[in-house]
Structure 1
Amino acid sequence: MNPLLFNLNSDPVLASQLRAHLDAEEGVINQRYFPDQETYLRIDSNCQERPCIVYCNLYQPNDKIMPLLFLVETLRELGASKVALVTPYLSYMRQDKRFLPGECVNARPFARLLSNYLDFLVTIDPHLHRIHSLDEVYSIPTHIVKAAPLIADWVGTHIKQPLFLGPDSESEQWVSEVAQLIDAPFLVMEKNRKGDRDVEINVPSLKTWKDHTPILVDDIISSGRTMLTTLMQLRQSGLNRGYCIGVHGIFADNAYSELQEEAEVISTSTIPHPSNQIDVSAALAVPLAQWAKD
């Protein structure tokens, strides 16, 4: 039986693409708010004995979590055979360590919360650093879709003589994989973070790469300070105007416009934004299709 796909407060374009790839039926939700801002939710689709997929992009998650839990719980009560969550951006992964006394390591309680409700989770390149695998914090099966092949395909189609650059050691896992997929050179720089918006980047000598197009790749572009600082130093080194590619383009405040002054800014479609040029829908659909059949 084809799955039902419910779009909970997320990008309708990506939801439609996912339904098409999965040959899924659109799940109908009736949702509104009571005067006190509590959530009213009703499912108007027959989900009895059917696999149900909830598309809820957990970028800016706080207003989505309670409706998500209500939806999943109601699907189970109404007889869904199993429930999966697809969230291109998985929130609450960056606070993965107690840096200061008393801090909440929110990656862990958030993972326990979702694991209590779901059977399966699909996401794209979550921020794994000190937590090395989702299995360390999630107790349900998960699947990580890698953005590297999608980025490599885009670069291979649009850019000649690319030189991939990672702004810091955390970015090496993405930069190296993308570069290897299209047999291109890559370099990883060193970053010294002094604050949320204050960073220093140590750029190596780039004299031998004058004929290449620099491409900065990172998983998350938030304030953009790391990317912007790196791009300014690349320009001073005499390199061509390059590209800034992010898996998840958050672009807080004026980050997007500031980056555009220094480079062409590209992102995948995990978070809706004018910079989206790399479609993730087909890649997300693959593990969901297999899960729905099993």
Structure 2
Amino acid sequence: MPPILFNLDSDPSLFDALLEAMAANRGQLEQRKFPDDESYLRVHSDCADRDVIIYCNLYQPDNKILRLLFLIYTVKEMGAKQVGLITPYLPYMRQDKQFHHGECVSSRPFSQLLSAALDLLVTMDPHLHRYHSLDEIYTIKSTVVPAAPLIAEWIKQNISTPLLIGPDIESEQWVSEVARMSQAPFQVLQKIRHGDTDVEVSSPHLEQYHDATPVLVDDIISSGRTMLETIQHLKHAGIKRPVCIGVHGIFSGDAFMQLEQVSDVVTTQCIPHPSNRIDIAQPLAKATLLLLNE
């Protein structure tokens, strides 16, 4: 039997693509609000002895997590065999250390909450900084789908002479992998900090790439400051208008507007946005089906 796939408050176009890629049955779900703003939820699909997958993009999670828990509880009560979650953006990963007394290391209670409710989890490039893998905090079956191959393929299909740019030494491993997959050269800029606000950026080897299109790649574009600083340096070096690629395009404030003025901005479908140009449905669907059958 194919799995049942529910869409909970998330991008309908990606849901339709996942539904087709997984050959899944569309889950029928009824939702509304009571006058006191509490949530009503009813599942109309027969979930007994079926694998159930919930597509719920947990970007801005506080608006969705309670309804997600209600849905998980309900389909389990109806007899679902396994209940999984596809969330292209996995939240509460950045707070992975207590910097000040009394701070909540939110990644840990959030992971415990989802692990207690679910059987499996599929996401794309979560923010793993101090954690080496999701297994350090999640106790369920999980798969991280890498965005690097998708970004590399997009570069190969759309940019004739790319030059991958890393804004600092910390980006080298990520940028070099995308460059290898897209069969393109890469350069990593060097930052020399002279003070809290005095930062010198150097790039001694850019002169030979004046005919190339610089491609800046990052996992999360939030304020866009790192990319904007890097673009300013590239502009001084006299090379072409760059392309900025992000896995998760958060774009706080006017970040997108500022970046769009000086570059072409491209993101994956992980967070719905007009810059989405890199499809992610096929690898998410494949990873989910593999995890279901383990």
Secondary structure in 2 aligned to 1:151? Answer: helix
| Equivalent residues of 1:217, 1:246 under 8 A apart | yes
| Equivalent residues of 1:210, 1:239 under 8 A apart | yes
TM-score normalized by the length of structure 1 = 0.94
Q: Does 1:65 align with 2:65?
A: yes
Aligned to 2:243: 243
The 3 A distance-change label for structure 1 pair 239 and 265 is same
- Cα distance in 1 for residues equivalent to 2:163 and 2:88: 27
Displacement after TM superposition at 1:169 (Å): 4.0
The unaligned stretches of length 5 or more in structure 1 are none
Secondary structure in 2 aligned to 1:116? Answer: helix
Secondary structure in 2 aligned to 1:261? Answer: helix
Aligned to 1:182: 182
| Structure 1 range deviating more: 100-109 or 65-74 | 100-109
Aligned to 1:108: 108
| Equivalent residues of 1:168, 1:190 under 8 A apart | yes
| Equivalent residues of 1:199, 1:229 under 8 A apart | no
| Equivalent residues of 1:199, 1:226 under 8 A apart | no
Secondary structure in 1 aligned to 2:76? Answer: helix
- Cα distance in 2 for residues equivalent to 1:271 and 1:168: 25
The 3 A distance-change label for structure 1 pair 285 and 200 is farther
| Structure 1 range deviating more: 176-185 or 130-139 | 176-185
The unaligned stretches of length 5 or more in structure 2 are none
Displacement after TM superposition at 1:201 (Å): 6.4
- Cα distance in 2 for residues equivalent to 1:203 and 1:129: 25
Displacement after TM superposition at 1:290 (Å): 2.1
- Cα distance in 1 for residues equivalent to 2:288 and 2:260: 35
The aligned runs of 1:33-48 (5 Å cut-off) are 33-48=33-48
The 3 A distance-change label for structure 1 pair 199 and 118 is farther
The aligned runs of 1:100-249 (5 Å cut-off) are 100-190=100-190, 200=199, 202-205=201-204, 206-249=206-249
- Cα distance in 1 for residues equivalent to 2:116 and 2:34: 26
Secondary structure in 1 aligned to 2:117? Answer: coil
The 3 A distance-change label for structure 1 pair 199 and 217 is farther
The 3 A distance-change label for structure 1 pair 33 and 240 is same
Aligned to 1:88: 88
| Equivalent residues of 1:31, 1:41 under 8 A apart | yes
Displacement after TM superposition at 1:228 (Å): 1.0
| Equivalent residues of 1:6, 1:26 under 8 A apart | yes
| Equivalent residues of 1:200, 1:229 under 8 A apart | no
Displacement after TM superposition at 1:100 (Å): 2.5
Give CA deviations for 1:130-157 in whole Å, capped at 9, x if unaligned: 1111111101111011111101111001
Aligned to 2:292: 292
Residue identity matched to 2:26? E
Displacement after TM superposition at 1:189 (Å): 3.1
Displacement after TM superposition at 1:41 (Å): 0.9
Secondary structure in 1 aligned to 2:235? Answer: helix
Displacement after TM superposition at 1:170 (Å): 4.1
Aligned to 1:280: 280
Residue identity matched to 1:261? Q
Aligned to 1:78: 78
Residue identity matched to 1:203? S
- Cα distance in 1 for residues equivalent to 2:116 and 2:19: 26
Give CA deviations for 1:144-200 in whole Å, capped at 9, x if unaligned: 1111110111100111221111223443343121101122222233566x99xx895
How many residues were matched structurally? 291
The 3 A distance-change label for structure 1 pair 161 and 6 is same
Give CA deviations for 1:69-88 in whole Å, capped at 9, x if unaligned: 11001110000000000000
TM-score normalized by the length of structure 2 = 0.94
